[in-house]
């Protein structure tokens, strides 16, 4: 009985996984957004590595790249987007 229930749950999870990949994760819209997010993260990584004193504990013995990865991994989406905007987008002119 328990094995039958486990088999049913496994089949349901596999069906859900298949559905999610076919209808959510691999759609062109999602792929486009993923590529945009990837570009933002790469730009942030390159900037933080180039300016470690502004963002990282440079007294650490870890390589700066590892520290930058950990720093970015700890960001919320909102924080990452705000930092990207601050660093790379022009500020509007106020007349």
For residues 90 and 52, what is the distance between their CA atoms, to the nearest angstrom?
22
The 8-class DSSP code of residue 73 comes to H
pTM for the whole structure: 0.77
Nearest to 44 by CA among 93, 87, 1: 87
DSSP output for 18-72:
HHHIIIIITSHHHHHHHHHHHHHHHHHHHHHHHSHHHHS-TTSSS-HHHHHHHHH
- The 10s digit of each residue's pLDDT in 35-87 is 999 999 999 999 999 999 999 998 999 999 999 999 999 999 999 999 999 99
């Amino acid at each position: 009985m328990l094995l039958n229930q486990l088999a049913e749950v496994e089949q349901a999870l596999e069906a859900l996984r298949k559905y999610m990949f076919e209808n959510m994760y691999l759609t062109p819209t999602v792929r486009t957004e993923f590529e945009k997010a990837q570009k933002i993260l790469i730009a942030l990584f390159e900037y933080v590595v180039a300016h470690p004193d502004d963002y990282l504990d440079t007294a650490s013995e870890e390589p700066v790249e590892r520290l930058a990865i950990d720093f970015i991994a700890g960001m919320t989406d909102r924080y990452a987007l705000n930092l990207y905007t601050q660093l790379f987008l022009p500020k509007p002119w106020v007349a």
